[in-house]
Amino acid sequence: MVEASTAPTPTDQAAPVLATHALTWGVGGFTILEDIDLEVRTGEFLSVIGPNGAGKTSLLNVISGTNIARSGRVELAGEDITGLRPALRVRRGLGRTFQTSSLFPNLTVAENARLGAQASRGGSLSLISRPRWEDAATQSGLQALGEVGLANRAGDLVADLSHGDKRKLEIALLLCSDPDVLLLDEPTAGVSVEEVEPLVRVIRDVHARGRTVVMVEHRMELVVDASDRIAVLHNGRLLTVGSPDEVMADATVQSAYLGETD
Ligand SMILES: Nc1ncnc2c1ncn2[C@@H]1O[C@H](COP(=O)(O)OP(=O)(O)OP(=O)(O)O)[C@@H](O)[C@H]1O
Ligand SMILES: [Mg+2]
């Protein structure tokens, strides 16, 4: 059991910081996401669950701009961002981690953080850069490392980090762009059981400092514990959105999972 978040619980009246309206996406003749209407409230911790292949990663891809919607809209802070490139969405406050790791294993933790900070400032991913930029990027990288509890690993090679610490580093890279909304795709994937709780504590701390979190996750005990609301995807459609208690008691959710193995 992870201790309760100290973040204020968003009310039903809180304005959506992120919303999708009738969002549809597909590949070739296949529709993979269909008619998704989802509102994420400012400051909310919202988890997205669903069986394998339900469309969870695809949804994050369309929200972050990796995939372009076939129809419908994505709004961030009330503004239409449906057609924006991913980098422009990042600049508007939308940050995203991927289901699989995207770090440079042969560089140190601090070097990865600096590159993350440079990239978030619109700089190139170069280890040779102008000194003033480099100093600022190093500083914000180190600050982000502190936020996820990795300051003491700054000089270590990423290849030597545990999976849990690599996941924390990915979150630190995300924080370099100072996002209002974090999209996390299975942050605990590949992380050993004993490392899950410290990692979840980092995510909850980041949320408690005022950021909105949208987390795709398979570990139900974490989802139920951490989330203000849970959205359930099934076969590319949004089955339901509600409080953990509502969703766990929902018969359609139970039947969607029936026979699924993870
Ligand atoms: N670029 C693509 N080209 C073709 N099919 C795709 C593509 N991206 C996703 N799909 C298909 O869309 C469906 C949804 O995939 P997606 O990765 O979004 O599911 P998911 O809910 O994230 O699953 P998991 O829990 O396994 O991560 C799957 O059937 C997948 O094969
Ligand atoms: Mg996925």
| Ligand 2 centroid distance, CA of 188 (Å) | 12
Q: Which atom of ligand 1 is nearest to the CA of 67?
A: 1
Least confident of 7-16, 89-98, 195-204: 7-16
Which CATH number does 16-93+179-256 carry? 3.40.50.300
Angle, helix 193-208 to helix 163-175, in steps of 10 degrees: 20
pLDDT band with cut points at 50, 70 and 90 for residue 137: confident
Nearest ligand to the CA atom of 31: 1
CB-ligand 1 contact for 53 (6 Å cutoff): yes
Give this prediction's pTM.
0.90
Residue 184 in this model has a pLDDT that exceeds 60: yes
pLDDT, tens digit, for every residue of 92-113? 999 988 766 679 999 999 999 9
9: pLDDT strictly greater than 80? no
- Is a pLDDT exceeding 70 seen at residue 3? no
54 within ligand 1 shell (Cβ under 6 A): yes
- Between CA 74 and CA 28, with CA 38 as vertex, the angle to 5 degrees is 60
What is residue 254's predicted lDDT score, i.e. its pLDDT? 86
Q: Token pair for residue 229?
A: 């609301």
Where along the chain do the CATH 3.40.50.300 domains lie? 16-93+179-256
Residues with CB under 5 A from ligand 2 (ion): 56-57
Six token digits for residue 54: 């339900």
Tell me what the mean pLDDT of segment 140-156 comes to: 94
Mean pLDDT of 187-212: 96
More confident: 223 or 138: 223
Convert the pLDDT of each residue in 164-174 to its tens digit: 999 999 999 99
178 φψ region: left (φ > 0), alpha (ψ -120 to 50), beta (else): left
Distance 57 CA to ligand 2 centre (A): 4
pLDDT per residue over 51-75, tens digit each?
999 999 999 999 999 999 999 999 9
More confident residue, 191 or 137: 191
Q: Write the residue with the smallest CA distance to atom 3 of ligand 1.
A: 27
Note the ligand closest to the C-alpha atom of 32.
1
The rounded Å distance from CA 183 to ligand 2 centre is 12
**CB of 27 closer than 6 angstroms to any ligand 1 atom:** yes
Q: Edge-to-edge strand order for the sheet containing 94-96? A: 94-96, 181-185, 212-216, 45-49, 229-234, 237-242
Does ligand 1 have an atom closer than 6 angstroms to the CB of 26? no
